[in-house]
Amino acid sequence: GVMERFGLGPEDLLQENPRLIYARLTGFGQSGKYAKSAGHDINFLALSGVLSKLGRKNENPYAPVNLLADFAGGGVMCAMGIVIALFERARSGRGQVIDASMVKGAAYLSSFLWKSQNLGLWSQPRGENLLDSGAPFYETYRTSDGKYMAVGSIEPQFYNELIKGLGLNLDELPAQMSFSDWPEMKQKFASIFAQKTQAEWCHIFDGTDACVTPVLSFDDVASHQHNKERSSFIKNDQGEIIPRPAPVLSRTPAVPSCKRDPFIGEHTEEVLLEYGFTKQEIAKLHSDKAIELKNPKANL
């Protein structure tokens, strides 16, 4: 309701421009019991049902920083809604309002969890299933130098490569899908991974189909050979490493900007002047604390 109070709600603006696409990105959505309540990623994730599935055995559920609800269920879903509305407008000539709720977006992202419930993938309590750290072959393991390896050897042919790389004999081990043996196998794998450095394990598993990769830190990710060959990370003009825009389009790939992020208020005055505001009006907005102004350049 904030935009309506300013006279900038979708009904007002769509009267002025029926082709307008008006995106409303909120946590709980435009209606419902919590619509006007404050919240953060962890709250939206909790209400979506997804948070109940995240976490290790006998531990509290945990939120994976604020990626799932804020950025994936919120930002990406909202952007997809805008693209869909643009596509529809090309046919109808009409705009529409997008109600992008982080709760609904995160829930929709989890459709796989709902659709696969009857496949036996999530039949056990949290932390005891195939993809939630229950399986010894879908887990992270600490190496002797305090780093980690990620293991995702689900299919039998990949699991065989894992066992070979670990120096074990498949015939002497329990069946891969013997759930009762998973805790013991996790301990066995952990003790073996702890005997070598991350680089040594990379030397063993790189080039195989074991689905074993290093867990790269932000300090190491840009220098990894695969990421270097793909130019997956770039440096901005401040020397900071940032991810390159994705996905990559073949004919019109994104051209990344290497400029630093603008300061809050850095371009406010020039934008408002461009739109016809006078310096006096801008000064009044600033004194009323409606806008921020900041000039990062030294006035010498």
Catalytic residues: 40, 70
Nearest-angstrom CA–CA distance, 116 and 266 = 49
Q: How many residues does the chain have?
A: 300
Q: Which amino acid is at 125?
A: P
Please report where in the chains the tokens 């603008």 appear, as a residue: 262
CA separation for the pair 134, 186 (Å, rounded): 9
- Asked if residue 103 lies in contact with residue 27, where contact means CB atoms within 8 angstroms, the answer is yes
Question: Which two three-digit tokens encode residue 213?
Answer: 């990769």
Say how far apart CA 56 and CA 140 lie, in whole Å. Answer: 12
Do residues 20 and 14 lie in contact, with contact meaning Cβ atoms separated by under 8 Å? Answer: yes
Please tell me whether residue 275 adopts helix, strand or coil conformation. coil
Listed residue (215, 190, 68) closest to 137, CA to CA: 190
Q: Give the number of other Cβ atoms within 10 Å of residue 182's Cβ.
A: 20
What residues have CB less than 8 Å from 196, skipping those under 6 apart? 143, 144, 204
Task: Write b or e for each residue in 247-283: b if 16 or more Cβ atoms lie within 10 A of its Cβ, otherwise e.
Answer: eeeeeeeeeeeeeeeeeeebebbeebeeeebeeeebe
Q: 3-class SS at 140?
A: strand
CA angle 58, 212, 159 (to 5 degrees): 80
